[in-house]
């Protein structure tokens, strides 16, 4: 079964052996992330192996990061579903895990072409499981989009004709985001219009309107925001 092209934020308790992980050292621009294990259940329903793979969380723990990367070992992060080099049954430097490990920032086959995707385009936000908070990374923004338009002139639209307006509220802004409008820097609480082709959906807390976009996807600020 194919997985949806949506970040799955299904959090479970997980930790790393900090001593073992400290023996792993990444060069500049590279991040090593141990992914959380596949979900075995949804509620009380036990998932078959084939279906469980569909619900592998796109959340992991940083094992190591290059000296120029603003992440530390032990940080929980969300990543794009299909990016990175995927390593199974990982064992290196005295550290061993049955969970999948992904390498970001190295040359990787992507849509049939081998290319180097910068780590910050793949690792999109930090996750704080204790408070269920998220913080956008690098030049990304976490936004809450206006609901899908499913009805027009009193008629329910077919699924293929439902659409987003491109309007959203900014929830979190990465430290490298370059967003300055005529009224000043774009800030949390502002209303924006964005390029819907650039949005990355993610599932978190049952809210279908959450998404992540890069700063270049922001077209303009609407009104004065929330101050």
159-210 per-position pLDDT tens digit: 888 889 899 999 999 999 988 877 778 899 999 999 998 888 876 666 788 8
Coil vs helix vs strand at 159: helix
CA distance 115 to 193: 30
Whether 100 contacts 83, CB under 8 Å? no
Percent of the chain exceeding pLDDT 70 equals 75
Distance in angstroms (rounded) separating the CA atoms of residues 167 and 196: 9
Is residue 7 located within the same domain as residue 107? Answer: yes
* Same domain as 170, residue 118: no
More confident residue, 99 or 225: 99
Whole-angstrom distance, CA of residue 118 vs CA of residue 158: 38
84 and 65 together in one domain: yes
Domain boundary among 136, 157, 175: 136
| 48-59 core/surface letters (b: 16 or more CB in 10 A; e: else) | eeeebeebbbbb
Residues 157 and 218 in one domain: yes
Task: Specify the pLDDT at position 55.
Answer: 43
Residue 163: give the domain boundaries. 139-227
Query: What are the tens digits of pLDDT across the range 67-82?
Result: 999 998 889 898 988 8
Instruction: Give the per-residue pLDDT at 44.
Output: 42
Domain count, the chain: 2
- CATH number of the domain residue 88 falls in: 2.30.33.40
Q: Is 227 found in the same domain as 207?
A: yes
> Are 90 and 161 within one domain?
no
Based on the domain organization, do 96 and 69 belong to the same domain? yes
């Amino acid at each position: 079964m194919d997985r949806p092209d949506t970040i799955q934020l299904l959090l479970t308790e997980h930790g790393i052996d900090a001593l073992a992980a400290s023996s792993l050292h990444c060069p500049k621009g590279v991040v090593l992330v141990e992914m959380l294990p596949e979900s075995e259940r949804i509620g009380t329903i036990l998932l078959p192996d084939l279906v469980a793979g569909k619900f592998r969380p796109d959340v992991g723990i940083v094992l190591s990061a290059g000296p120029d990367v603003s992440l530390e070992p032990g940080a929980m992060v969300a990543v794009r579903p299909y990016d990175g080099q995927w390593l199974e049954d990982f064992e290196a430097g005295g550290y061993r895990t049955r969970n999948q490990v992904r390498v970001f920032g190295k040359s990787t086959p992507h849509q049939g072409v081998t290319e180097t995707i910068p780590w910050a385009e793949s690792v999109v936000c930090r996750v704080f499981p204790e408070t269920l908070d998220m913080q956008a990374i690098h030049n990304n923004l976490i936004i809450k989009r206006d609901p899908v338009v499913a009805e027009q002139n009193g008629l329910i639209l077919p699924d293929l004709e439902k659409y987003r307006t491109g309007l959203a509220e900014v929830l979190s802004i990465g430290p490298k985001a370059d967003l300055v409008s005529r009224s000043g820097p774009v800030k949390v609480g502002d209303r924006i219009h964005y390029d819907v082709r650039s949005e990355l959906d993610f599932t978190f807390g049952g809210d279908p309107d959450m998404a992540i976009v890069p700063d270049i996807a922001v077209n303009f600020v609407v009104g004065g925001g929330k101050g």
